Structure 1
Amino acid sequence: MSYFIDRRLLWRLPLLTLLFAVGLAFSQAVPAQADPDREASLAVPALDADTWRQVRSGEIGPNFRDSRADSTYNLVNASGENWRQLRNRWVSPFGLIAIGGMIVVIALFYLIIGRKDLSGPRTGRKLLRWPLLVRSIHWTVATLFIVLALTGLNLLYGKFVFRPLFGDAVWGAMISASKVSHNYLGPLFGILLIVLLARVLKHNWPKKHDLEWFKKGGGMVGKAHVDAGFANGGEKAWFWLLATVGLVVVVSGFVLDFPNYGQGRDTMQWANILHAVGALGLTAVAVGHIYIGTIGSEGSLEGMTTGYVDETWAKDHHNLWYEEVKDQAVPEQELSVGRPPPDDSEEAATRS
């Protein structure tokens, strides 16, 4: 008898399961057929113009808080829109004017005045100006600066240039690569920049003859020669620009790169504005620095590539420094065959 009871129970189990499934589906379908307007009216109170004005004003109330514990953020953060307007209406145009204007000025200067050539023939005797360590740090920092400048410009202006040309897929890949490169190379640049600034600080303290250098435009105003030590007035100005604005860019970049030290959203927005304005300004000035150090002045690039400069170049650009180290000049032939100069120490190269 128990055998037949068990068999009757077995065929009822699937039926009970089917009935349970049908009932569950029906129970879920009933709310779906409810009136959407009625559901919305029950879920949230009516939102009128006065409510949104309260939200935008920054009032903090139980209906405006977000889900985070002890949060003071309101539903609408008006400062975000202010940041966007400041970035789009002021920062972006400033960058185009600064960098574009510098390129135009340099092009006109080159076409009208041309390259600054040496005042006389080369003597063939060389002076050690930049030791290997300083040159290595300089070129590393310069390379990182160029990469960061290009990736930063792409993040700011790329969507207006590359997106129409190549489409969303290519532009998206460029933006992603730019963002990753910028975020990871930025801290390395900041550390090496500080090392470089500390390394050449002793040559960049302002002196009285620097003021005369600026008055005469580095020798372009009047016919008299302008005095300069190891670093002239323009080089010192570039150094202190990097030591002030450059460090602001570095610090603001660290704030943006590591948003896990308690800084709020408003702090990040201001850091972004300072970072962009400082970086765009430095990029514009760097264009001039690159021009003067390459095609703008004969013999300047040699000093940072080989470490040595010709006596004629030293007398033309840094006559006070030349007077101090002229007895250390060595024939170019000795350098070409790999013979070390009589005094290849860093103190001899940077004495001023």
Structure 2
Amino acid sequence: MSLCRNGPNVGASIALALLLLLTALFASPALAQAEVEREAAAAVGAVTPDTWRQVRSGEVGPNFRDTRADSTYNLINASGESWRQLRNRWVSPFGLIAVGGMAGVILLFYLIIGRKDLSEPRTGRKLLRWPLVVRSIHWTVASLFIVLALTGLNLLYGKFVFRSLFGDAFWASMISGSKLLHNYLGPLFGILLVVLLVRVLKHNWLDRTDLAWFKQGGGLVGKGHPDAGFANGGEKLWFWLLATAGLLVVASGLVMDFPNYGQSRDTMQWANIIHAVGALGLTAVALGHIYIGTIGSEGSLEGMTTGYVDETWAKEHHNLWYEEVKDQAVPEDQLTGDKTVPGDSSETASRPG
């Protein structure tokens, strides 16, 4: 009888004990964190806005320095924030305007003007324009350029598109693969680009005919097609862009690819900006080069795929070169019938044409 009377009191006591136990369990981490914060406050002291300003300017002692070996940078690096602002507020919008704007202009040009067809029928006689060795290097460099351009655009803009579409897991794999390809293929692209530039340098020295070519907009202004040798003014301009801005992009990429040669953090930041601006600009111009060399102009792609161009194409686009090599034209059926193509060698490429 007494057990029944005392039952509620026993249950209440057990419930109270459990409540106290749970309170102790949850309170322990909070008390431990509070203890850590008290120790940190005692060891470091109050961190005021003035303290952070001192850290930013580098006026405080070594306790506020970066822990990297031989580093002279502050814990808070002002140049890093400047780089971030420059990249996000200027470089990224510049890239969208340059690449997207060029793509839009090319699309409008194609829809309004259309492909530039040959004004006269083809003769069926072919002239060697590019030997096999040059074509092989060109297509290798072009393929690497496209891969580097796509992976670079992904590194800069991909997170705004693919991350939201496919989620973090897919995005992480995608960005990791892009970075790996970009870092390893970049040096190979640089080496082959130099080889290609040296190989075709002799055709790309500027002369007086190029001024007339630019005045006529490559044939878009006025009547008739402007005079041109082996390379016209537009092709020479693309060559020198690659020889200047292109090599600068390669050099800045190597600075970031191999950070173990004493580069400072500021050097790496400037290399990143130079690399991004140059690469985005070249990508925009490359869209025009690709358009003109493929669907924009009849017969242009044949020269870099088969090595040969029709006489009509040569006369219309490179008349001065045609006059130099017209006696070397061969019938098309002769080329398709023989596996050994006459003249398709480095020897022929060394001629003026």
TM superposition score normalised by structure 1: 0.88
Q: Give the aligned partner of residue 286 of structure 1.
A: 286
> Matches of 1:103 and 1:33 in 2, distance apart?
57
Deviations for 1:279-321, whole angstroms, at most 9, x for unmatched residues?
Answer: 0000000000000000000000000000000000000000000
Aligned length in residues: 323
Q: What residue ranges of structure 1 are gaps of 5+ in the alignment? A: 1-30
How do residues 209-288 of structure 1 correspond to structure 2 at under 5 angstroms? Answer: 209-288=209-288
> Matches of 1:69 and 1:351 in 2, distance apart?
58
Q: Give the aligned partner of residue 154 of structure 1.
A: 154
> Matches of 1:171 and 1:298 in 2, distance apart?
40
Query: Post-superposition shift, 1:138?
Result: 0.1
Query: Post-superposition shift, 1:345?
Result: 4.1
SS at match of 1:42: helix
Q: Contact 1:151–1:181 (CA<8 Å) still a contact in 2? A: yes
> Matches of 1:177 and 1:144 in 2, distance apart?
15
SS at match of 1:63: helix
Q: Give the aligned partner of residue 180 of structure 2.
A: 180
> Residues 56 and 302 of structure 1: is their aligned pair in 2 closer, same or farther, counting only changes over 3 Å?
same
Q: Give the aligned partner of residue 38 of structure 2.
A: 38
Matched, 1:351 2:352: yes
> Matches of 1:193 and 1:338 in 2, distance apart?
32
Query: Post-superposition shift, 1:39?
Result: 1.5
> Residues 344 and 40 of structure 1: is their aligned pair in 2 closer, same or farther, counting only changes over 3 Å?
closer
TM superposition score normalised by structure 2: 0.88
SS at match of 1:270: helix
Deviations for 1:219-257, whole angstroms, at most 9, x for unmatched residues?
Answer: 110003310000000000000000000000000000000
> Matches of 1:290 and 1:200 in 2, distance apart?
18
> Residues 60 and 267 of structure 1: is their aligned pair in 2 closer, same or farther, counting only changes over 3 Å?
farther
Query: Post-superposition shift, 1:34?
Result: 8.4
Q: What residue ranges of structure 2 are gaps of 5+ in the alignment? A: 1-30
Q: Give the aligned partner of residue 23 of structure 2.
A: none
Range 101-110 or range 233-242, more displaced? 101-110
SS at match of 1:47: coil
How do residues 1-150 of structure 1 correspond to structure 2 at under 5 angstroms? Answer: 35-59=35-59, 61-150=61-150
> Matches of 1:123 and 1:241 in 2, distance apart?
34
Query: Post-superposition shift, 1:65?
Result: 1.9
Q: Contact 1:253–1:271 (CA<8 Å) still a contact in 2? A: yes
Identity of paired residues, percent?
80
Q: Contact 1:60–1:74 (CA<8 Å) still a contact in 2? A: no
RMSD over aligned Cα, in angstroms? 1.8
Query: Post-superposition shift, 1:64?
Result: 2.0
> Matches of 1:176 and 1:70 in 2, distance apart?
30
